Amino acid sequence: MDLKKTAYPLDGLYNKFSLKKWNKYKSDEDVDINQEDVSSLLSLDVEFDTKEILEIYLPIAELIMLNIYNRQSLNNKMNEFLNAGIDIPFIVGIAGSVAVGKSTFSKILQLLFTKIYKSKNIELVTTDGFLYPNSILEKKGIMERKGFPESYNTKLLYDFLFNIKSGIKSLKVPKYSHLVYDILEDENITINSPSILILEGINVLQPPIPKENYFEPVVSDFFDFSIYLDADEPVIRKWYIERFLNLRQKAFSDENSFFNRFVDIGDKEAVELATQIWETINLKNLDENILPTRSRASMIIKKNENHKVEELWLRKI
C-alpha cells in the first residue's frame, strides 16, 4: 500500500526513516536479550534474531520510553501541585490488518519494555477478547462480519480502558481462543496495575463517531502512543493464506480446532477458500475500516514480504 495515497499526504505529517537511517539510532544501552528469550516468548513460524530486535525494535521501544518518562515527569509535577498520588498507566495501541504481525510485534515490544523498565508491570491485551461471542454474532446476523467494528463489544472495551486509566488495581477481561475461534465462557484474564499496557487490535484507531449532539468516545482516546503496522496488500494476502494453511495443518492433530472442519479438503481447495475469505471479509474490512485509520497513528511501520521492517514513519505533530 502506497503510504502517499491518502487524503492528506503522509510525508507532510510524518518524518520518514529508511532502515539504513533508522539503524543510526541503534541503542548503546546494554539490554540483556538472547535468542532463547526471543524463541521461547514468540514461538513463531517467522524467525527473529536478537540482532534484528536490538537494531530495529529496541530504538522503537526506547522512543516510546522517552514519551513515558516525559508523561511520568508531568504526572509527578501534577501530583505535587495537587498533593495527590495518582499513577496513570501508559497505553500503547498497536493497529493494522489481519495477519500483518501485530501479535508478534506486541510481544517483542512487551519483552523490550520488560528489559528496559525493570520491576514494572507490562501487560499485553488483545481486542479479540472483546469480540461478541459467536452465538451473539449469529443472533445479530453478523457472523460474516467478525472483525468489523460492529462485531466488538466496544462498551466493554471502553469501560476496561476507562478503569485502567482511573487506576483500578485489578481488572478482568474476556479470554478469546484462536483454537475454537470464540470467546471462552467463564474464563477471564486478570490485568493487575500495569505501568504500561499494550493494546493490540485491528480496529483500535477508529475515529470518533458523530452522534446528534456529540461525538461518541473511542478506544484511541486512551492511547498515549500508537503504531500502525503496514504492508502491501498482496503481501498481507499471502501471509493470511499461509496462516490459514498453517492453522489447518495444526487442526489435523486437534479435533477441537475451529479449522478441523477444513482438514478433509485438498491443499488447492484450502488456498481457494482462504483467498475467498480474504477477499470477501478481511480485504473489505481493511479497505473500509482499518487502512483509513493509518494516518491517526503516532508511528507507521512498513514491512516487506519477509516480515522485515523496511520503513518507519514518525508523526511530526
CATH number at residue 86: 3.40.50.300
Between CA 113 and CA 21 the distance in angstroms is 23
φ, ψ for residue 273 (rounded to 5)? -65, -45
Contact by Cβ (8 Å): 280, 287: no
How many domains does the chain divide into?
1
pLDDT for position 142: 96
Which residues are registered as beta bridge partners of 16?
A: 313
pLDDT tens across 63-114, in order?
999 999 998 888 888 888 988 777 789 999 999 999 999 999 999 999 999 8
Examine residue 5 and state whether it is found in any structural domain, yes or no. no
> Which are the contacts of 290, defined by CB distance < 8 A and separation ≥ 6?
95, 96, 97, 202, 203
Could you tell me the pLDDT band of residue 45, with boundaries at 50, 70 and 90?
A: low
pLDDT for position 24: 82
| Mean pLDDT, all residues of the chain | 88
Q: What is the dihedral of CA 78, 123, 300, 311, to 10 degrees?
A: 120
Could you tell me the pLDDT band of residue 238, with boundaries at 50, 70 and 90?
A: very high
Rounded to two decimals, the pTM is 0.92
pLDDT for position 4: 45
Examine residue 155 and state whether it is found in any structural domain, yes or no. yes
pLDDT for position 42: 62
Choose the most confident range, by mean pLDDT, from 10-14, 19-23, 138-142, 254-258: 138-142
Answer whether residue 291 shows pLDDT above 50: yes
Report in angstroms the alpha-carbon separations of 58 from 9, 53, 95, 194: 28, 6, 19, 20
Place of cell 515490544: 109
Q: Which DSSP helix (H) or strand (E) runs through 128?
A: none
* Residue range 143-158: mean pLDDT, rounded: 94
Examine residue 1 and state whether it is found in any structural domain, yes or no. no
Grid coordinates in use for 104? 508478534
Examine residue 199 and state whether it is found in any structural domain, yes or no. yes
Inter-helix orientation angle 233-251/267-277, to 10°: 130
Grid coordinates in use for 79? 501530583
Answer whether residue 43 shows pLDDT above 70: no
Report, in angstroms and rounded to the nearest whole number, the Rg of the chain calculated over CA atoms.
Answer: 20
Examine residue 4 and state whether it is found in any structural domain, yes or no. no
Examine residue 3 and state whether it is found in any structural domain, yes or no. no
Between CA 102 and CA 100 the distance in angstroms is 6
Number of Cβ within 10 Å of residue 171's Cβ equals 19
Examine residue 133 and state whether it is found in any structural domain, yes or no. yes
Examine residue 20 and state whether it is found in any structural domain, yes or no. yes
* Residue range 52-71: mean pLDDT, rounded: 91
pLDDT for position 9: 67
Inter-helix orientation angle 58-82/102-116, to 10°: 60
Could you tell me the pLDDT band of residue 28, with boundaries at 50, 70 and 90?
A: low
pLDDT for position 6: 53
pLDDT tens across 100-125, in order?
999 999 999 999 998 888 768 999 99
Taking each continuous run of H as one helix and of E as one strand, the counts in the chain are 11, 11
Chain center to CA of 178: 16
Q: For residue 87, give its domain range.
A: 10-315
* Of 139-148, 162-171, 207-216, 259-268, minimum mean pLDDT range: 207-216
Choose the most confident range, by mean pLDDT, from 30-34, 36-40, 121-125, 205-209: 121-125
Could you tell me the pLDDT band of residue 174, with boundaries at 50, 70 and 90?
A: very high
